[in-house]
Amino acid sequence: MTSAGRPDAPVLLVTKLHPPSVLAQTIARERLFERLREGRGLKLSLVAGPAGFGKSTLLAAWREEETRERPVAWVTLDGGDNDAIMLWSHVIEALGRACPALAETIPAELVPAAPLLEVLLPRLVNALTEQGEVVLVLDDFHRLTSAAARETLRWFVDYMPSTLQLVLATRADPALPLGALRAHGQLLELRADDLRFTAPEAHEFLNDRLGLGLAAGDVDLLVTRTEGWPAGIYLAALSLAGKPDKAALVRAFDGTSAHVVDFLSSEVLGAYEPELQAFMLRTSVLERLCVPLCDAVLDGTGSAAALESLARSNLFLIPLDDQRRWFRFHHLFAQLLRVELERREPALVPTLHRRAFEWHDEFGTTDEAIHHAIAAHAFAEAGSLIAGTWVHYVNAGRTSSVLDRLLRFPEATLDGDARLLLVLAWISALRGSEADMRAALARLDRLGELEPGPLPDGFASLQSSLCVLSAAFAWGDVAASLEAGARSVELEGPESPWRPVVTWSLGWGHYCNGDLDQAERWLTETAELAPPADQWIVGTGAIADLSLIAGLRGRHAEQLRLAGAAVDQAREQGLLEAREVGEVHTAHGVALAAHGRREEALPLLEQGVFLRRLWGQPLDLADGLIALATATAGVGDRARAAALFRETEELLAGCPDAGVLPQRLAAAMGAPVPARAELSEREREVLALLSSGLSEREIGQELFLSFNTVHTHVKSLYRKLGVSSRAEAVEFHLGETRRG
């Protein structure tokens, strides 16, 4: 479970949903617009070509014309979209802006909580089917590199309705079955050769729009020399602006064997005043620019004038919003600038990144702050930002964003930073990977003694974060989870923001252990503490767990009321389809079944199991499976019920300590209740010391455990042995020792 609920929707960069502005200088390439319209009704429209082939410009100009016919949604992809949650948040937000009806059926806030392939995308496809014709442009598609994010898109292409025209602009062919689409006439392709400027287009651009007054022969020479490469022609135009003898430059260009980029990049910069040159070079480290940010990075005050002048004269500076507050350099141009910056002022680059980091940190744009801190090799600062904000990313469903960032740290830096290793462990656990979590903890272990003192994410100490992690994620070991929970109660005080996570862990552990009184006490506390602390995941889970307990105790009216309350709270908090609280659906299903409403219960129990599989905690899943199998047997589907029971048996057999779940399973199967669970090693130690006559407090001193922890072990071993007093337990122990 995570610290807070889900008030933190992913932070959407609005500028990404804004197509590049169509400037007065842009020519309308009607022959290509016509081709794009041919993509209507086809599976895929692909605009593929290397950098600088005018893909975005073409599509932005086409979009302006096309919006008169049908809505056009636009997303410019970037590295952040490799987190599939971000990708689809942006796509759904963009579609909602283009078609208001869609925004109502499928709000973007839904994305972080709902499993993508299983819930969200099918729902999006249904909503689009109801919607009329619409175009979706995904620009810079090549920046989508993660296999997981691409997989979601491939699924979408398979199932989307033909009323949607999906246009991908990319430098590299996407990993989609292009051959098959082509063979079935389902693919529209505009490739580099289609995108090259023809001589008439170059003439219109250079002379009619830019007013360069070039002779027809010189235009032809430029087209030949650049092979119609739009960026090359535009670089030439920038170099030519203000040159008195334009023909001479064109001839010099034609006469050299130097690469277009090589020849023109020196010419282009040379066409600007030295101050503007410095401005462009130094701000080229930024992904996006605005006046205050540029001032900060340059440590000066002249950015407003420089940006205004460039925005007027340079098509490579692209406005990102209507107010012209944010801009970015065209990727290719930015790259040329970065090369030149590296050549002229290499020592300055880390300083520039550091200033960008400081500005973004102050401004509150944490994502970019972390990016620049890492680029400036300011790993200490980047680490502090991540340590302080990871919980917000998690609550926005962005665990993979945090993971990607951490993987960019040098191994040695990570290995020296206990806070970050702990974040890595939490993220791994939340993603359901026990192996990755254990690997991170092993690295933490090598650091030796953990420093005391509070952490920026609200934990009382590193030790405490580690302890709460072990309590919240049992990985099939109830005793270990309860032991960690007992220590966590002492480490995280009653005022801690993590307190509800601790109390939930204890409540859930006791529930698995069959100690329903204790479980109720802790879960009731959780349900009360969670809302003021914004801890909606554990808060909602606790209400569902309380409903399950009421059911076990035969209080069926209360059971149904609590299940309803859990569902309501999950819905209000956008958690209804979140994998973290699959027990809500299980509890709802079990409560309905207890009231004889089996038909309604089954789909809910299926949904509970489905979500709990994703969450990846064995005991949590077993709880859901037992409920589903019981209801399945109840409606007479013996084969399915047997398979589910078998799966649960295997799952529990792999758990180090499954508490009373094996007994619950046996009871559900109508089988004889199996022998009590084996004692854990720790419980055996405690039992041996009990038999030697020590008090629980003395045993604690002997084993370096708290009184609470020892007490927990004692209760657990009583339960496992089926005894109710120390005398009986000692008797059992002595008997066992005698037997040898």
Residues that bind other proteins (CB under 8 A): 50-52, 171, 229, 231-232, 257-262, 265-266, 331-332, 335-336, 339-340, 342-343, 346
SS3 514: coil
Compute the distance between CA of residue 140 and CA of residue 270 in angstroms, rounded to an integer.
Answer: 30
Enclosing H/E stretch for 696: helix 696-703
Phi, psi angle pair for 257, to nearest 5°: -95, 0
Least Cβ distance, residue 172 to other proteins (angstroms): 8
Compute the distance between CA of residue 173 and CA of residue 259 in angstroms, rounded to an integer.
Answer: 25
- Considering the complex, state which of residue 66 and residue 340 has its C-beta at the smaller distance from other proteins: 340
Least Cβ distance, residue 228 to other proteins (angstroms): 13
Angle made by CA atoms 279, 281, 285, in degrees to the nearest 5: 105
| DSSP states of 704-725 | T--HHHHHHHHHHHHHHHT--S
Compute the distance between CA of residue 24 and CA of residue 210 in angstroms, rounded to an integer.
Answer: 9
User: Which residues are CB-contacts of 67 (< 8 A; sequence separation ≥ 6)?
Assistant: none
Least Cβ distance, residue 55 to other proteins (angstroms): 12
Compute the distance between CA of residue 278 and CA of residue 351 in angstroms, rounded to an integer.
Answer: 15
- Considering the complex, state which of residue 234 and residue 357 has its C-beta at the smaller distance from other proteins: 234
Beta-carbon count within 10 A of 259 CB: 10
Listed residue (577, 495, 578, 488) closest to 532, CA to CA: 495
- Considering the complex, state which of residue 145 and residue 162 has its C-beta at the smaller distance from other proteins: 145
- Considering the complex, state which of residue 260 and residue 619 has its C-beta at the smaller distance from other proteins: 260
309: amino acid identity, one letter: S
- Considering the complex, state which of residue 167 and residue 231 has its C-beta at the smaller distance from other proteins: 231
Compute the distance between CA of residue 394 and CA of residue 222 in angstroms, rounded to an integer.
Answer: 52
| DSSP states of 561-619 | HHHHHHHHHHHHTT-TT-GGGTHHHHHHHHHHHHTT-HHHHHHHHHHHHHHHHHHT-HH
Least Cβ distance, residue 193 to other proteins (angstroms): 13
**With contact defined as beta carbons under 8 Å apart, do 284 and 334 qualify?**
yes
The position carrying tokens 């808060």 is 539
469: amino acid identity, one letter: L
Least Cβ distance, residue 346 to other proteins (angstroms): 7
Least Cβ distance, residue 51 to other proteins (angstroms): 4
Least Cβ distance, residue 33 to other proteins (angstroms): 24
SS3 295: helix
User: Which residues are CB-contacts of 723 (< 8 A; sequence separation ≥ 6)?
Assistant: 729, 732
Least Cβ distance, residue 403 to other proteins (angstroms): 17
Least Cβ distance, residue 385 to other proteins (angstroms): 24
Least Cβ distance, residue 52 to other proteins (angstroms): 4
What 8-state DSSP symbol labels residue 678? P
Compute the distance between CA of residue 219 and CA of residue 200 in angstroms, rounded to an integer.
Answer: 9
516: amino acid identity, one letter: L
- Considering the complex, state which of residue 51 and residue 103 has its C-beta at the smaller distance from other proteins: 51
- Considering the complex, state which of residue 43 and residue 328 has its C-beta at the smaller distance from other proteins: 328
- Considering the complex, state which of residue 232 and residue 700 has its C-beta at the smaller distance from other proteins: 232
- Considering the complex, state which of residue 261 and residue 593 has its C-beta at the smaller distance from other proteins: 261
- Exposure on the CB side of residue 638, measured as CA atoms within 13 A: 0
Least Cβ distance, residue 563 to other proteins (angstroms): 50
CA atoms 193, 167, 33, 25: torsion sign? negative
**With contact defined as beta carbons under 8 Å apart, do 44 and 189 qualify?**
no
- Considering the complex, state which of residue 269 and residue 544 has its C-beta at the smaller distance from other proteins: 269
Listed residue (248, 241, 91) closest to 167, CA to CA: 91
Which residues does residue 676 pair with via DSSP β-bridges, in sequence order?
Answer: none
- Considering the complex, state which of residue 407 and residue 442 has its C-beta at the smaller distance from other proteins: 407
- Considering the complex, state which of residue 171 and residue 597 has its C-beta at the smaller distance from other proteins: 171
Compute the distance between CA of residue 240 and CA of residue 242 in angstroms, rounded to an integer.
Answer: 6
- Considering the complex, state which of residue 110 and residue 334 has its C-beta at the smaller distance from other proteins: 334
- Considering the complex, state which of residue 157 and residue 339 has its C-beta at the smaller distance from other proteins: 339
Which residues does residue 169 pair with via DSSP β-bridges, in sequence order?
Answer: 47
Least Cβ distance, residue 638 to other proteins (angstroms): 52
Least Cβ distance, residue 334 to other proteins (angstroms): 9
Least Cβ distance, residue 426 to other proteins (angstroms): 26
- Considering the complex, state which of residue 268 and residue 471 has its C-beta at the smaller distance from other proteins: 268
Enclosing H/E stretch for 682: helix 681-691
| DSSP states of 122-184 | HHHHHHHHHS--EEEEEETGGG---HHHHHHHHHHHHHS-TTEEEEEEESS--SS-HHHHHHT
Compute the distance between CA of residue 340 and CA of residue 226 in angstroms, rounded to an integer.
Answer: 21
Phi, psi angle pair for 328, to nearest 5°: -145, 155
Compute the distance between CA of residue 579 and CA of residue 581 in angstroms, rounded to an integer.
Answer: 6
Least Cβ distance, residue 27 to other proteins (angstroms): 20
- Considering the complex, state which of residue 333 and residue 610 has its C-beta at the smaller distance from other proteins: 333
Least Cβ distance, residue 491 to other proteins (angstroms): 40
Compute the distance between CA of residue 331 and CA of residue 287 in angstroms, rounded to an integer.
Answer: 9
**With contact defined as beta carbons under 8 Å apart, do 523 and 549 qualify?**
yes
Least Cβ distance, residue 258 to other proteins (angstroms): 5
Compute the distance between CA of residue 198 and CA of residue 202 in angstroms, rounded to an integer.
Answer: 6
Beta-carbon count within 10 A of 395 CB: 24
- Considering the complex, state which of residue 117 and residue 172 has its C-beta at the smaller distance from other proteins: 172
Can you give the length of the chain in residues?
740
Phi, psi angle pair for 208, to nearest 5°: -70, -40
Least Cβ distance, residue 268 to other proteins (angstroms): 13
Beta-carbon count within 10 A of 691 CB: 16
- Considering the complex, state which of residue 317 and residue 621 has its C-beta at the smaller distance from other proteins: 317
